[in-house]
Amino acid sequence: MELEFTGEVWHWRGPAPYHFVTVPGPQCTELADVAGEVSYGWGMIPVSARTGGTTWTTSLFPKNGGYVVPLKDKVRAAEGIDLGDRITIVLTV
């Protein structure tokens, strides 16, 4: 399954600060349909993600009934991504 969407980069300032992009509702619905088959612990869904010319592996985090994509610092640096930027992400589940 492949999903593409655009979202805004936001920052969580918790004990382990990280940047995320929230997966929009329609794509969350598609993910929920396959979550039982692919998720592991706490509802995490392993994916391959791509933005621009950078591809990485990660896991979607469940949040507020949907999912968020964690953006690694090396991905943000490689693509020149800053807080508040709107980026397009392609996920392969």
Residue 81 sits in a domain of what CATH number?
A: 2.40.30.100
Q: 25 lies in which domain range? A: 2-92
DSSP line for the chain? -EEEEEEEEEEE-SSS-EEEEEPPHHHHHHHHHHHHHH-BTTTBEEEEEEETTEEEEEEEEEETTEEEEEE-HHHHHHHT--TT-EEEEEEE-
- If one counts the domains in the chain, the total is 1
What pTM was estimated for this model as a whole? 0.90
Among candidates 79, 78, 86, 31, which has minimal Cα distance to 59?
31
* Greater model confidence, 14 or 83: 83
Tokens, residue 55: 């591809």
Q: For 12-40, what is the mean pLDDT?
A: 89
pLDDT, tens digit (0-9, with 9 covering 90-100), for 27-81: 999 999 999 899 987 889 999 999 999 999 999 999 999 999 999 999 999 999 9
